[in-house]
Every structure is written in structure tokens, then in C-alpha cells.
Amino acid sequence: MLRSFRIISALVLIALVTIPNLGRAEGKYMKHNLREKRRDLKNSVTAEERLAFLVAHNGHRNSTTPPASDMRKMYYSSELEKSAQEWSNTCQFKHGNPSWITMKYINVGQNIWMGSEGYSIESMVGAWAAEKSSYTFSTNDCATDAECGHYTQVVWASSFKVGCGMTQCANYGDNIITVCNYLEAGNYVGEKPYSQGTACSGCPTTAPTCSSNLCAIKNNDCSKVEPSCTITDATNCLCDNSAYMLSNTTTVDNPFSSLDNGARWFLGFGQAVFEPYHRLIPSRGTAVLLTELANSLTNY
């Protein structure tokens, strides 16, 4: 129980991929021997990459073992991408969100990855999902000295939005920092990432349609996901490129800024590589009482 409590306590965890000595694994640093076609990535995500992030996440979500009864189909969010891209553009390999970005959500999860530009998006998301081998669903437990929080965030049933940013950083030897933000966040203390059962047998009323073993929004109503953009891909609710453009004029609330106030432990970072501390989300209800979530989160 204590082991489970410690592992699931963090909303966000870090996965680090280093380039020397490919194929080795040391401590908490993830190293993989993956060599793929080189891509020219600087400080933005393309339409093809957005779809790749989405397909990769949903691919792991619809094939969980044991099967999930309530796994929601994940949709791509332009707002989450903006905050993720701005943060990756700072080239800091740690969790956070720029103070100049407007975010109406307080309950946001985050996964971070770093590696060479030879890695595909499928490999990046796959590195997080590979932690599945260390996670035991029946006991909600993670193997000793292993990390499982990236995997549980990827397959957290109620996380139905994702947005990612990618930046090539000179201060890290031209490696790529990838940030993915999630709504709603996963990894609540004492909760399993999903309910076990026949696919779609436990879909919420807000996502009652079964699509490839995932609970999808009724009639694939993209206005529930991206209410103010021109949809170019109705199946995945992807917007036209203008929706993802960054603005330097927005200033406001930072959803991660509460780490600096009295409520900071409700957003609980658990930074496995750089900061060995854990702050907890004691319960879903308490967190909601403390910080009112946006209407779009509570409505669907």
C-alpha cells in the first residue's frame, strides 16, 4: 500500500532519454536504442505530428491489459499545445508552464521527454507507455526502483485531451524536449488509472459512443473539445493551423503557479530526476473543493 501511495502520488513525472551508450539503462534515466528518420524540428509541432501524438496515445489507451471499461477517447487540444509548446521553448528540462500563457484549467497533467531528433513520436509516447511492464494493475503497484507514472497518465481513463510541444534545444546538445499536457490530470492517490471490464461497458454519459474500444463524445461533436476553431479533421477534432499559433500578448494565470501558494500540494509534482520530493493530491473531491475547475471540464 505504501509503495502504491508513493508511486501514484505524483501528477507529473519526468522521462529522460540520453544519447550516449544507447541501449543501456541506468537508474531513473531512460535510454533507448531507437534510430529513425531524421526530422527538422525547431520550436513547433506540425499537423502531422499532432495526429501522430493523438494516434500514439489512443493506441495505448485502447489496448490496455487488463481491458478498460471506461477509457475515454483522447482528443487533441490547441490550448494545451500552446502551453506545452511555450514551456518546451524555454528549454528547461523540468515541469512547469510559462506565466504569460492563459490557461483556464487548474487540473492539468504533464509528461516530459528528451532525446535526439532521430526519435519518432510513436517512440516518445512508447517510452512512457513502456513503464507498463513495471506496473501491476491488480494491486495498483509499481516495481521497486521503477517508474510507472508516465504510463498511468497516458492511460488515465478520464484524461480526454492532450496537447504537446517540441523544441530542439542548443543547451541540451540540440536534443529535443517534448512536453505533453493532459486534461484532466491523472495519478490521483489511491486510484487506478481505469476500471477493468469489457471495453465501453462503463462509458460516462458525456462520452457514450464506443469507438475502437474507447468512449467517444456523442456524434463526435468537436465543439465539446475545440469550441472556437475551424475543424479540419472531424474524426480527431483537429483544428486548422491558426488555432495553434502562439501569442506573446496573453498574460495571466499559470495553472502550475499554485505550487508557490498554500494550495501547492494539490498539484503535486514528483520530479523523479531532479527534485526528489512528492506533493500529493489526497482526493479528487478535496481538490475540486479547493480549486473550482473550468466549466468545460465539469460539463464533459
225 has a pLDDT exceeding 50: yes
In percent, the amount of the chain with pLDDT more than 90 equals 48
Which has more pLDDT, 280 or 229?
Answer: 229
> Domain residues of the chain, as ranges?
41-247
Provide the pLDDT for residue 227.
Answer: 83
Q: What is the pLDDT of residue 282?
A: 34
**Rounded distance, CA 244 to CA 122, Å?**
21
Half-sphere exposure of 19 (CA within 13 A, CB side): 13
Mean pLDDT calculated for residue range 201-228: 92
Q: Rounded to whole angstroms, how far apart are CA atoms 204 and 186? A: 17
Whether the CB-CB separation of 53 and 181 falls below 8 Å is answered with: no
Greater model confidence, 9 or 143: 143
> Angle CA(157)–CA(160)–CA(163) in degrees, nearest 5?
130
Superfamily classification of domain 41-247: CAP (3.40.33.10)
Question: What pLDDT is recorded for position 100?
Answer: 59
Average of per-residue pLDDT values in the chain: 73
Residue 132: per-residue pLDDT:
96
Region 177-200 average pLDDT: 94
Kind of pairing between the strands at 109-115 and 13-14? parallel
Grid cell in block for residue 205: 454519459
User: What does the pLDDT look like over 19-45, one tens digit per residue?
Assistant: 332 222 222 333 333 333 334 446 889
The residue with greater pLDDT, 273 or 56, is 56
Query: Can you spell out the DSSP letters for 216-275?
Result: E-GGG-GGGT-TTS-EEETTTTEEPGGGG---SS-----TTGGGGSTTGGGS-BEETTTE
Element (H, E) at 150: helix 149-154
Tell me what pLDDT residue 247 has. Answer: 65
Q: What is the pLDDT of residue 105?
A: 60
> What is the structure's pLDDT at 229?
86
pLDDT reading at 234 higher than 70? yes
Lowest mean pLDDT across 53-57, 129-133, 220-224: 220-224
Q: Give the other-Cβ count within 10 Å of 263's Cβ.
A: 13
Percent residues over pLDDT 70 in the chain:
65
CA-wise closest residue to 147 among 36, 9, 293: 9
**Distance between CA 226 and CA 33 in Å, rounded?**
37
Residues in the chain: 300
Buried b / exposed e over 128-153, threshold 16 CB at 10 Å, is: bbbbbebbebeebbbeeeebbbbbbb
The pTM score is 0.72
Q: How confident is the model at residue 163 (pLDDT cuts 50, 70, 90)?
A: very high
Among 99-108, 185-194, 195-204, top mean pLDDT goes to 195-204
**pLDDT computed for residue 268 by the predictor:** 28
Flag the least confident range among 3-7, 51-55, 179-183, 265-269.
Answer: 265-269
Position 118 confidence tier, pLDDT thresholds 50, 70, 90 = confident
Give the single-character DSSP code of 171.
Answer: G
What does the pLDDT read at residue 96? 82
Instruction: Please tell me the predicted confidence (pLDDT) of residue 189.
Output: 85
What pLDDT, on a 0 to 100 scale, did the predictor assign at position 76? 94
- Side-chain-side CA neighbours of 130 within 13 Å: the count stands at 10
Residue type present at position 262: G
pLDDT grade for 102, boundaries at 50, 70 and 90: low
Q: Look at the block and give the residue holding cell 471540464.
A: 297
SS3 34: coil
The answer to whether the Cα torsion of 263, 266, 267, 271 is positive or negative is positive
Q: Looking at the DSSP assignment, which residues form a beta bridge with residue 239?
A: 231
DSSP state of 73: P
* Closest-CA residue to 296 (of 195, 223, 236, 241): 223
**What are the strands, taking DSSP E only, across 116-240?**
135-136, 141-142, 161-169, 175-183, 209-211, 214-216, 231-233, 238-239
What residue type is assigned to position 231 of the chain?
I
At 255 the pLDDT is 37
**Residue-level pLDDT at 276:** 23
The letter for the amino acid at 168 is Q
pLDDT band at 235 (very low <50, low <70, confident <90, very high): confident
* Pick from 281, 235, 197: nearest CA to 74: 235
